[in-house]
Amino acid sequence: MAEPLSVAVRRGEIVESVHRVHAVAVQGGKVVARAGDVALSTSLRSAAKPIQAQPLARARADLDDADLAIASASHFGTELHVEAVRTLLRKTGGSEDELECGLQDGRPPERIYHNCSGKHAGMIAVCRERGWPVPGYRLPDHPLQQELLQEVAVFADVDSESIPTANDGCGVVCFALPLERAASAFARVAETRIAGAMRARPELVGGGGATDTELMRTLPGWIAKGGAEGLLCAASADGLGLALKTADGNARALRPALASFAAQLGLNLPAFAEIPLENSRGERVGTAASL
């Protein structure tokens, strides 16, 4: 097994910590680059959102790029993002009161400001189109969540019974896949209408400064989506799928690791190679960069 990527956090000349990052690239069903354990069981968390939004894209041909991008988002809760969620709800007959994502610390005490509210709005819309009950749409035994499990299985090309599930931070079902299967799934997502929306509106998928948003801005034609606990999945328009996972769940290692891994694939990401560290005075005191 190839060694994981290593990202060192330095304060001056002092190495304070080292993060290990597993990574894999898949194209045409084959692994073309690897670092660490490509079979690592990985919770997709929010990286599943572009897959979870697929039934919405199929159900509503009238939705535009903003609607589909916000349904795939872990957004920053800005007015731009919140208005996009409200627009999606209005178009599909939903209401803010139906959102079951709960409240989020550090944000206004309204569910629509939750970073997963767009995903939930999309789920509500699918329930209406299918004639399914909206209350409880997030629960494992709801027909929507059962269909989304099958959706993940199809994109990852695995048996649905082999996919571990749990309760995500916003209350819906979350899924785990081997890292290589996550990369392969994103290669398939890249061919869909959801991918087109993400490419068109990357600022809605995360927000300015978010790793997934900035990667899409840096590499035109690519899609990217982060997941909690240090996961990043991405894919090019020609079907190169990537997945990176920090062993300790710290997302600060993702950009330097991504820059290092991308270089193996002939991709240049100089703005990602080093993260500056600042103290409370705004002084630069260190960096996080690949060893």
Task: Give the Cα separation of 90 and 98 in Å (integer).
Answer: 12
Tell me the residue ranges of DSSP E strands in 36-164: 41-43
In whole numbers, what is the pLDDT of the chain averaged over residues? 97
Mean local confidence (pLDDT), 211-231: 98
Which residue, 267, 210, 213, is CA-closest to 238?
267
pLDDT on residue 250: 97
How far is residue 259's CA from residue 261's CA, in Å, rounded to a whole number? 6
Say what the pTM is: 0.97
Q: Strand 223-227 to strand 173-178: parallel, antiparallel, or no bridges (unpaired)? A: unpaired
Phi-psi region of 208 (alpha: psi -120 to 50; beta: other; left: phi over 0): beta
Q: How many CB atoms lie within 10 A of CB 135?
A: 10
Query: Could you state, in order of their start, the residue ranges of all structural domains in the chain?
Result: 5-290
Helix, strand, coil % in the chain, rounded to nearest 5? 40, 25, 35
Tens digits of residue pLDDT in 259-285: 999 999 999 999 999 999 999 999 999
Nearest to 91 by CA among 116, 70, 115: 70
Give 21-58 pLDDT, tens digit per residue.
999 999 999 999 999 999 999 999 999 999 999 999 99
Give me the phi and psi of 240, to 5 degrees please: -90, 115
Q: Is the pLDDT of residue 167 over 80?
A: yes
Do residues 163 and 176 lie in contact, with contact meaning Cβ atoms separated by under 8 Å? yes
Q: What is the mean pLDDT of residues 175-204?
A: 98
Distance CA 79, CA 77 (A): 7
pLDDT digits (tens, 9 = 90+) for 124-158: 999 999 999 999 999 999 999 999 999 999 999 99
pLDDT at 1: 74
Characterize the bridge pairing of strands 165-167 and 173-178.
Answer: antiparallel
- Mean pLDDT in residue range 95-114: 97
Q: Which CATH architecture has domain 5-290?
A: 3-Layer(aba) Sandwich (3.40)
pLDDT score at 115: 98
